[in-house]
Amino acid sequence: MAAHAVPLAVLPSGLWRMAMAVGIPVGWSGQLAEDWQPSPENFFYITLLTVVTETLAFLTLGLVRPWGERLPRWFPFLGGRRVPVWAAAVPAGLGALAVAAVTLPMFWGGMPADAGGSDAPQGVAALVMNACYVPLLLWGPLVAVVTVAYCRRRLGGTRA
């Protein structure tokens, strides 16, 4: 269940960013509104960021699905081979630490909408932005929990 929660925890911030990318007003004003106005460059950057984060979040499912223990047959050169525990656990553990290192500082000075100063979203727009970004705080801890469960299951020989 925790592994399935990871992509869902990442999804709201991605949807918020994509709204911004396609020109839906998200509350920026002043210089921030100018910097993030719709353009091909901003659209490409925001879309790439969103696709990469959601893809990384979906990889957590590999820790609870069969393809996290044995590579699918269609996988080039290695298809059908067992995945060594360390080959999944080390990247997942490092990923949990990296995600926590990126997401926690977003909240040290307050909520994400507070980081933009007077140009940041205000009122309802700030509430929406914060509601979309708060779930990111779950990403690192959830990946860590799933990684520990993966290691226990694989190294202990039991299926949970």
- The CA-CA-CA angle for residues 45, 48, 53, to 5°, reads 125
What pLDDT shows up at residue 156? 86
Instruction: Tokens 């949807």: give the residue.
Output: 15
Q: Which of 62, 70, 75 is nearest to 3 (CA)?
A: 62
Give start and end residues of each alpha helix (H) in the chain.
2-21, 30-35, 40-59, 85-103, 105-108, 123-133, 139-156
What pLDDT shows up at residue 43? 97
Give me the tens of pLDDT residue by residue for the chain, a chain 160 residues long: 899 999 999 999 999 999 999 999 999 998 888 999 999 999 999 999 999 999 999 999 999 999 888 888 888 888 888 999 999 999 999 999 999 999 998 888 788 888 778 888 999 999 999 999 999 999 999 999 999 999 999 998 655 5
39 by DSSP, 3-state: which? coil
What pLDDT shows up at residue 159? 54
Q: Which of 63, 57, 79, 61 is nearest to 150 (CA)?
A: 63
User: The whole model's pTM is what?
Assistant: 0.87
